[in-house]
């Protein structure tokens, strides 16, 4: 597959014959150990949906404790067994395990693997005009490493000491010392092993995405003609490739500290009536390593969602995305800055305050490209002809969350203000909106928008609307009140607030948040029904249901392995020729040459006609230079 793009016309056909043989593989090679990027994408998607439900359910369990501290949870004993105390409450250590696993699962398994894994895999070859990823085998490995990692993480729920409980950031010494918390025993070992495998999966995927985007674009698909989705996936993969190895290093050193008696992160510890021999290590070192991944990770989950949204908003506003190059520029700028802002998570950890000043400066700079993106989205809506498809609704939801949650980042990035807000519910509200919910909505938008291409059928739009409105309002009801709770100083990861006078109010808001969380989770079942029902009974999808310009809609309704039955189409224009003045339709697909649209060409586009007609080879050579 990797050399498809260097084949001549005849070779491509020849190749396709091979493809045909591939199709007759057995169940195992077609659906389980498939090397087809579309199947792998669906595998990531289904696994991601499973994890999203799992992680969401965990959050509802701990929201029950926070919203209704008096409630008797005896009825959950069949499920949770000994984690329910004899008084019918959640065990405080299990509460911490719930919080930890909710964070880990949502950030890594849902919004990294579920989002990038699904859409980078699905869309990169389809939108750049490639038959598959550069290496189908590595791509397959990427999924199965993720699967193995998932199994191991899941298994930690079934051991006696329970899953890791030191917060998703697993700061040592808490995560290094089993005597400090039960979850730091076997549960933490499983967490580390699972994350190590997860990182391998991410790297295998990321290398593939980058290689494919650089090397396998079809004729005419120059970098400046790539849809913003592809740009976003491309940047995301690069960020992941540069930052995940650092987490790997941190995890490895933590394994050494836990199991082999080293002192990378441990020093001067007296615990359980015993002074440990570890000296010279620094817990702060771990935090630096963790957040060197941890902050770019925020953009690893967010950028793909922003890319998906750009595409969907442009398509459904029937307008070109406003400021295509500014959008790429701001993503590039965000990608670079994401590597030099990590210590804003550590203003009050005892880090040198001078370092705090530097990171505050860099952090607030990152607000500028983010603001540019918001303004560009809003301008894209201006004078559009907006169709509210389900995908469009979720994209608008993303823009709304990105704004609401992004703006609170200006408070938290300011180290002086952060002193009070650090580790309170204000932070919880901030990142759940700007990164959690925004990315989650990006993912849902992508599912609704590309479902017809994935499964050849349409999802039910009405159910999509209901799902959107319940989820949109629900998410705001969950996270908006948390700003107030945070301003009042409520610390995160508290099992109960009754021990402190300053934090004993707000039982009403906490109950409201919990009820909203339950309803929001319940609304996701509308989606699940729609998703699985439409797979078999949905209306068959037309070739190009959204009248979109990009390449994936030129494939057959159910594309086989290889995507296009004949030659891969060539690309002649950028992906955002919507409502072009003079054009008959309100969209011109990327595959339509300028020579066929003299009525709508801009002056500089008329000059490109010569290049098109002289010979496609000129472009081939340029596009495929090695």
Which residues in the 29-48 window bind another protein by CB under 8 A?
Answer: none
Query: Cβ 464 to another protein, closest distance in Å?
Result: 10
Q: Token pair 């089993």 is at which residue? A: 178
Contact 311, 550 (CB under 8 A): yes
Comparing CB distances to another protein, the nearer of 210 and 228 is 228
Map the footprint of another protein across residues 240-299, applying CB under 8 A.
266-271, 273, 275, 279-284
Comparing CB distances to another protein, the nearer of 50 and 494 is 494
Map the footprint of another protein across residues 176-215, applying CB under 8 A.
177, 180-181
With CB under 8 A as the contact rule, the residue among 150, 161, 424, 510 that binds another protein is: 424
Closest by CA position to 283, among listed 259, 257, 261: 257
Query: Cβ 371 to another protein, closest distance in Å?
Result: 4
Quick one: which segment of 19-27, 44-52, 123-131, 165-173 binds another protein (CB under 8 A)?
165-173
Query: Cβ 357 to another protein, closest distance in Å?
Result: 6
Contact 129, 221 (CB under 8 A): yes
With CB under 8 A as the contact rule, the residue among 25, 320, 560, 593 that binds another protein is: 320
Map the footprint of another protein across residues 354-383, applying CB under 8 A.
356-357, 360-361, 364-365, 367-368, 371-372, 374-379, 381-383
Query: Cβ 367 to another protein, closest distance in Å?
Result: 6
Comparing CB distances to another protein, the nearer of 33 and 411 is 411
Closest by CA position to 444, among listed 507, 524, 522: 524
Q: Provide the mask over 49-88, with x wherever binding to another protein is found by CB under 8 A and - wherever it is not.
A: ----------------------------------------
Comparing CB distances to another protein, the nearer of 71 and 180 is 180
Comparing CB distances to another protein, the nearer of 10 and 275 is 275
Contact 197, 145 (CB under 8 A): yes
Torsion angle in degrees (nearest 10) through CA of 603, 607, 608, 614: 150
Quick one: which segment of 17-25, 31-39, 127-135, 457-465 binds another protein (CB under 8 A)?
457-465
Map the footprint of another protein across residues 299-318, applying CB under 8 A.
317-318
Query: Cβ 19 to another protein, closest distance in Å?
Result: 30
Comparing CB distances to another protein, the nearer of 344 and 561 is 344
Map the footprint of another protein across residues 128-147, applying CB under 8 A.
none
Residue 385 CB neighbour total at 10 angstroms: 11
Give the span between the Cα atoms of 140 and 98, in whole angstroms: 31
CA–centroid distance for 87 within its chain: 39
Q: List C-alpha distances in Å: 405 to 354, 432, 482, 490, 597.
A: 27, 8, 12, 18, 43
With CB under 8 A as the contact rule, the residue among 148, 465, 511, 535 that binds another protein is: 465
Map the footprint of another protein across residues 1-20, applying CB under 8 A.
none
With CB under 8 A as the contact rule, the residue among 262, 349, 507, 624 that binds another protein is: 349
Q: What angle do CA 73, 79, 80 make, to 5 degrees?
A: 70
CA–centroid distance for 21 within its chain: 35
With CB under 8 A as the contact rule, the residue among 45, 126, 186, 393 that binds another protein is: 393
Query: Cβ 566 to another protein, closest distance in Å?
Result: 25
Comparing CB distances to another protein, the nearer of 372 and 620 is 372
Comparing CB distances to another protein, the nearer of 68 and 147 is 68
CA–centroid distance for 547 within its chain: 26
The residues near 272 (Cβ < 8 Å, ≥ 6 apart) are: 179
Q: What angle do CA 341, 342, 343 make, to 5 degrees?
A: 100
CA–centroid distance for 550 within its chain: 22
Q: Token pair 């490109």 is at which residue? A: 608
Query: Cβ 2 to another protein, closest distance in Å?
Result: 35
Quick one: which segment of 7-15, 25-33, 164-172, 196-204 binds another protein (CB under 8 A)?
164-172
Name the token pair of 278.
């570890």
The residues near 605 (Cβ < 8 Å, ≥ 6 apart) are: 573, 594
Give the span between the Cα atoms of 65 and 49, in whole angstroms: 25
Give the span between the Cα atoms of 161 and 176, in whole angstroms: 15
Query: Cβ 369 to another protein, closest distance in Å?
Result: 8
578 strand-pairing partners: 587
- Helix/strand/coil for 494: coil
Comparing CB distances to another protein, the nearer of 64 and 381 is 381
Comparing CB distances to another protein, the nearer of 371 and 611 is 371
Comparing CB distances to another protein, the nearer of 170 and 303 is 170
Query: Cβ 167 to another protein, closest distance in Å?
Result: 5
Q: Is the peptide bond before 301 cis (omega within 30 degrees of 0)?
A: no
Give the span between the Cα atoms of 435 and 409, in whole angstroms: 11
- Helix/strand/coil for 553: helix
- Give the binding-site size for another protein (rule: CB under 8 A): 121
Contact 109, 54 (CB under 8 A): no
CB burial of residue 89 (10 Å; 0-12, 13-18, 19+): buried
Map the footprint of another protein across residues 491-550, applying CB under 8 A.
491-497, 499-503, 505-506, 539, 542, 545, 547
Does 442 help bind another protein (rule: CB under 8 A)? no
Map the footprint of another protein across residues 470-489, applying CB under 8 A.
472-473, 476, 480, 484-485, 487-489
With CB under 8 A as the contact rule, the residue among 245, 384, 456, 560 that binds another protein is: 384
Query: Cβ 329 to another protein, closest distance in Å?
Result: 9
Query: Cβ 378 to another protein, closest distance in Å?
Result: 5
Name the token pair of 209.
């995405």
Q: Phi/psi of residue 274, each to 5°? A: -145, 135
Give the span between the Cα atoms of 116 and 236, in whole angstroms: 8
């Amino acid at each position: 597959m990797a050399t498809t793009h260097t084949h001549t016309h005849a070779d491509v056909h020849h190749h396709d014959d091979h493809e045909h043989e591939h199709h007759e593989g057995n169940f195992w090679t077609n659906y389980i150990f498939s090397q087809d990027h579309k199947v792998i994408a669906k595998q990531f998607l289904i696994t991601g949906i499973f994890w999203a439900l799992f992680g969401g359910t965990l959050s509802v369990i701990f929201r029950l404790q926070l919203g209704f501290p008096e409630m008797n949870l005896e009825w959950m004993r069949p499920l949770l067994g000994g984690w329910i105390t004899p008084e019918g409450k959640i065990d405080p250590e299990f509460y911490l395990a719930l919080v930890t696993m909710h964070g880990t699962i949502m950030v890594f398994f849902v919004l990294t693997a579920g989002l990038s894994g699904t859409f980078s895999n699905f869309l990169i070859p389809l939108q750049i005009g490639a038959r598959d990823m550069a290496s189908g085998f590595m791509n397959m490995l990427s999924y199965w490493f993720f699967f193995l990692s998932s199994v191991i993480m899941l298994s930690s729920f079934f051991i006696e000491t329970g899953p890791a409980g030191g917060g998703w950031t697993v700061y040592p010494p808490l995560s290094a010392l089993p005597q400090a918390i039960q979850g730091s025993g076997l549960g933490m070992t499983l967490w580390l092993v699972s994350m190590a495998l997860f990182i391998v999966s991410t790297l295998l995927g990321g290398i593939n995405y980058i290689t494919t985007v650089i090397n396998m674009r079809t004729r005419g698909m120059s970098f400046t003609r790539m849809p913003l989705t592809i740009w976003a996936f491309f940047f995301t993969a690069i960020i992941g490739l540069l930052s995940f190895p650092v987490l790997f290093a941190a995890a490895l050193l933590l394994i050494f500290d836990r199991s082999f008696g080293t002192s990378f992160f441990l020093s001067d510890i007296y615990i359980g009536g015993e002074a440990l021999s570890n000296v010279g290590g620094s817990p702060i070192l771990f935090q630096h390593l963790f957040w060197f991944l941890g902050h770019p990770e925020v953009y690893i989950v967010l950028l793909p969602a922003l890319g998906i949204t750009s595409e969907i908003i442009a398509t459904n506003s029937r307008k070109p995305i406003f400021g295509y190059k500014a959008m790429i520029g701001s993503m590039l700028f965000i990608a670079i800055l994401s590597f030099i802002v990590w210590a804003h998570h550590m203003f009050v950890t005892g880090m040198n305050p001078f370092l705090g000043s530097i990171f505050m400066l860099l952090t607030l700079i990152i607000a500028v490209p983010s603001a540019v993106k918001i303004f560009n989205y809003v301008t894209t809506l201006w004078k559009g002809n907006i169709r509210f498809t389900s995908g469009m609704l979720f994209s608008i939801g993303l823009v709304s969350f990105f704004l609401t949650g992004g703006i609170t980042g200006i408070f938290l990035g300011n180290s002086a203000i952060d002193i009070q807000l650090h580790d309170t519910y204000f932070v919880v509200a901030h990142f759940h909106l700007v990164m959690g919910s925004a990315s989650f909505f990006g993912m849902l938008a992508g599912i609704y928008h590309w479902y017809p291409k994935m499964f050849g059928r349409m999802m039910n739009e009405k159910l999509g609307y209901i799902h959107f409105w319940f989820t949109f309002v629900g998410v705001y009801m969950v996270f908006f009140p948390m700003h107030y709770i945070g301003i009042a100083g409520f610390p995160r990861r508290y099992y109960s607030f009754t021990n402190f006078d300053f934090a004993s109010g707000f039982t009403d808001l906490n109950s409201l948040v919990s009820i909203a969380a339950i309803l929001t989770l319940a609304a996701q079942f509308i989606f699940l029904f729609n998703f699985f029902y439409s797979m078999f009974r949905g209306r068959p999808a037309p070739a190009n249901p959204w009248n979109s310009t990009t390449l994936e809609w030129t494939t057959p309704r159910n594309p086989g392995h290889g995507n296009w039955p004949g030659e891969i189409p060539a690309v002649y224009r950028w992906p955002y020729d919507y409502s072009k003045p003079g054009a008959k339709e309100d969209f011109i697909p990327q595959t339509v040459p300028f020579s066929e649209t003299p009525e709508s060409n801009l002056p500089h586009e008329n000059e490109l006609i010569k290049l098109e007609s002289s010979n496609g080879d000129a472009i081939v050579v340029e596009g495929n230079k090695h």
